[in-house]
């Protein structure tokens, strides 16, 4: 892989931002991290403990993101040194599944998309009547997933394990980064990351930069925000982002 023509701004949250930055540099490109999303773990509550203690009663555990995987499993391991054997684990996207793999958890995921709708096309969700489902997620996310499962007859519990935030920078921090490094592509891993990027990047700059996003939904959001050179990489993992970077014309 040769990314010598790439000068990228990486807006993913840490630690993913640094990992992707290093991968681009190893392939001959230039990259600078400027996370547009903060991930703040929530303090453990009694409600969380009650949910964790009944983990063995769930049929399916759905993990919505890499932070949910890392923080959720760290909480679970306080109470379950060995996971209940009958629980089936699912991840939204291959990168979330890879994060779970670090904890020796094999999770199923859709290979056709990185959103709730894609996950629900899996055979395991064709009949969830009377199934008990736990969703590990961040505050305010995945209402569509919870709603569709509930309407299909599942008993759904959610556990928020982190809160997202918009990092605080100087108002012109993004513009300074773009101009000082002659950046030609911006990598964005989620809709909320894109929203925060829009807060810092004036409208007049958006048409000038190629933007890589992980899904068609985020691509539509990008166009609505004034970005014109938008590439859907069909996933937020490094394995999806890097080949998309290589394909960018020199």
Q: Could you tell me the CATH number of the domain that includes residue 140? A: 3.40.50.10090
128, 153 Cβ separation under 8 angstroms = yes
239, 96 Cβ separation under 8 angstroms = no
Residue 146 has which token pair?
């919870």
Q: Please give the residue range of the domain that contains residue 187.
A: 7-37+169-246
Domain boundary among 164, 185, 218: 164
Q: Is 2 within the bounds of a domain?
A: no
Q: In this predicted structure, what is the pLDDT of residue 142?
A: 65
Domain boundary among 97, 129, 164: 164
135 with 155, same domain: the answer is yes
**How far apart, in whole angstroms, are the C-alpha atoms of residue 93 and residue 114?**
5
156 with 208, same domain: the answer is no
131 with 199, same domain: the answer is no
73 with 124, same domain: the answer is yes
178 with 155, same domain: the answer is no
88, 61 Cβ separation under 8 angstroms = yes
Domain boundary among 164, 183, 217: 164
Q: In this predicted structure, what is the pLDDT of residue 152?
A: 93
227 with 213, same domain: the answer is yes
46 with 154, same domain: the answer is yes
Q: Is 14 within the bounds of a domain?
A: yes
97 with 128, same domain: the answer is yes
Nearest one of 170, 172, 174 to 194, comparing CA atoms: 174
Q: In this predicted structure, what is the pLDDT of residue 111?
A: 86
Q: What are phi and psi of 116, to 5 degrees?
A: -60, -40
- Segments in the chain below pLDDT 50: none
Q: In this predicted structure, what is the pLDDT of residue 201?
A: 97
Q: What are phi and psi of 211, to 5 degrees?
A: -120, 125
**How are strands ordered across the β-sheet holding 38-41?**
38-41, 155-165, 132-138, 60-63, 88-91
56 with 17, same domain: the answer is no
Q: Is 57 within the bounds of a domain?
A: yes
188, 167 Cβ separation under 8 angstroms = no
Q: Is 61 within the bounds of a domain?
A: yes
51 with 152, same domain: the answer is yes
50 with 30, same domain: the answer is no
Q: Is 1 within the bounds of a domain?
A: no
Sign of the Cα torsion 121, 122, 128, 132 reads negative
32, 8 Cβ separation under 8 angstroms = yes
């Amino acid at each position: 892989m040769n990314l010598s023509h790439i000068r990228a701004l990486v807006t993913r949250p840490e630690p993913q931002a640094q990992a992707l930055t290093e991968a681009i540099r190893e392939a001959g490109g230039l990259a600078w991290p400027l996370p547009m999303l903060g991930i703040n773990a929530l303090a453990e509550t009694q409600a969380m403990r009650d949910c964790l203690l009944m983990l063995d009663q769930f049929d399916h555990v759905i993990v919505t993101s890499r932070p949910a995987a890392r923080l959720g499993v760290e909480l679970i391991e306080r109470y379950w040194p060995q996971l209940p054997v009958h629980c089936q684990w699912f991840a939204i996207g291959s990168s979330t599944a890879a994060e779970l793999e670090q904890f020796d958890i094999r999770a199923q995921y859709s290979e056709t998309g990185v959103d709730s709708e894609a996950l629900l096309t899996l055979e395991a969700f064709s009949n969830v009547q009377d199934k008990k489902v736990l969703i590990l997620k961040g505050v305010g996310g995945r209402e569509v997933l919870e709603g569709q499962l509930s309407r299909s007859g599942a008993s759904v519990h959610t556990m928020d394990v982190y809160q997202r935030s918009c990092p605080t920078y100087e108002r012109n921090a993004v513009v300074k980064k773009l101009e000082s490094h002659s950046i030609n592509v911006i990598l964005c891993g989620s809709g909320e990351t894109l929203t925060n990027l829009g807060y810092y990047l004036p409208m007049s700059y958006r048409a000038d930069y190629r933007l890589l996003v992980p899904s068609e939904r985020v691509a539509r959001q990008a166009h609505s925000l004034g970005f014109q050179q938008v590439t859907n990489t069909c996933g937020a993992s490094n394995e999806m982002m890097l080949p998309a970077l290589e394909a960018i014309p020199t």
